[in-house]
Amino acid sequence: MTFKIPLPDEFSFDLCMKFLQRSPKELLHRCTDNSVRKFLRVDDKDVLFELSPSKNQHLEISVLNGPVTEAQKNELIAYVREWFDLDTDLKPFYAMASKDRLLKDLIKKYHGYRIVGQPDLFESLVWAVLGQQINVQFAYTLKQKFVEKFGSKLLFDMDEYFLFPAPETVALLTDEHLLPLQFSRQKSKYTVLIAEAFANNQISKEKLRGLSLIQAKELLMKIKGVGNWTANYALMKTFRYPDAFPLEDAGIHNAIKNLKKLDRKPTLDEVRKAFKKYKGWEAYATLYFWRSL
């Protein structure tokens, strides 16, 4: 079963694919040179689909494991639009960035690059916690072990596809389960606390929907282990708050240092000052600074 969705002019499938191909340890999607496969649970049905570029600026969605209903098809389309942030109009961002000394060359070089998101808020928060104070590749190692051990699995054409572990499953785990996967005690504790907040309905994607950035951050930061950086990261990746950006992020600091040719990292006040020009587009400015690295 195959169907197509139109793409905005400011969209590059190749650049988004490069992001998805960051690590061979990634289990939540499987990439080839020109397509990506993903396993989702849609209305209690396990759905494996493949995305590939099509003519006339369209994406082709192919369901690989049987037909889906019209409602499930619509949910898949909505998921893909959310995953690749297709409903955000980048023209105003590009107009602003074209006049900015730090961004103008980046938006030419990476034109059409979008925030490849994590529509699952629980996944966003746990991934942010896993990545704290370690390098990205070791974070992927932790995620790989975690997903293999506790995520749901689908076998198709001799390949395995995984879902991120459910909060209800993770809420029941202890250090005995997570420390052997190379989690630190702190990461183990915070992962379980986040899962408990979801399992107990203290937090959910629905509860945050429609809130201001400040309100959403306050709600998330009530969970122990979710600080300002983690909350901003999740809100940027899951809800695409345009004004969300992780101020303390080392990558942003390194990018500004490189682009300004500084001999030191900028201070937090200097980063704040730089981002004042990007008001309303902080998340996309962050994305392009990260890409510059």
Averaged pLDDT for residues 26-37: 94
CA distances for 162 relative to 26, 83, 155, 169, angstroms: 10, 17, 9, 15
Q: 29 near 36, Cβ under 8 Å?
A: yes
Query: Alpha-carbon distance 134 to 236, whole Å?
Result: 20
Please spell the DSSP secondary structure of 112-157, one letter per residue.
Answer: T------S-HHHHHHHHHHTTTS-HHHHHHHHHHHHHHHS-EEEET
Class of residue 176 by CB neighbours under 10 A (exposed 0-12, middle 13-18, buried 19+):
exposed
Mean pLDDT calculated for residue range 105-123: 96
- Rounded to whole angstroms, the maximal C-alpha distance in the chain is 58
pLDDT of 118 reads 92
Q: Is the pLDDT of residue 247 over 90?
A: no
Is the pLDDT reported for residue 85 higher than 90?
Answer: yes
For residue 248, pLDDT beyond 90: no
Per domain, the residue ranges of the chain are 2-87, 88-117+242-293, 121-153+161-239
Q: Is the pLDDT of residue 66 over 90?
A: no
Provide the CATH topology of domain 2-87.
TATA-Binding Protein (3.30.310)
Q: How far apart are CA 236 and CA 246, in angstroms?
A: 9
Task: Supply the CATH classification number for the domain 88-117+242-293.
Answer: 1.10.1670.40
Where are the alpha helices (H) located in 10-90, listed in sequence order? 13-20, 70-83
| Rounded (5°) CA angle 156-149-174 | 155
- pLDDT at residue 289, as a whole number: 96
Query: What average pLDDT does the segment 100-124 reach?
Result: 96
Residue 90: phi and psi, rounded to 5, are -85, -5
> 46, 105, 243, 249: which one is catalytic?
249
- Summarize pLDDT for 146-175 with one digit per residue, the tens: 999 999 999 999 999 999 999 999 999 999
> In a 3-state reduction of DSSP, which class is residue 37?
strand
Is the torsion defined by CA of 55, 56, 59, 62 positive or negative? Answer: negative
Rounded Cα distance, 58 and 243, in Å:
28
Q: Is 100 one of the annotated active-site residues of the chain? A: no
- Helix/strand/coil for 93: helix
pLDDT (0 to 100) of residue 68: 94
As a CATH number, domain 121-153+161-239 is 1.10.340.30
List all residues 6 or more positions away from 268 whose beta carbon is below 8 Å from its beta carbon.
Answer: 247, 248
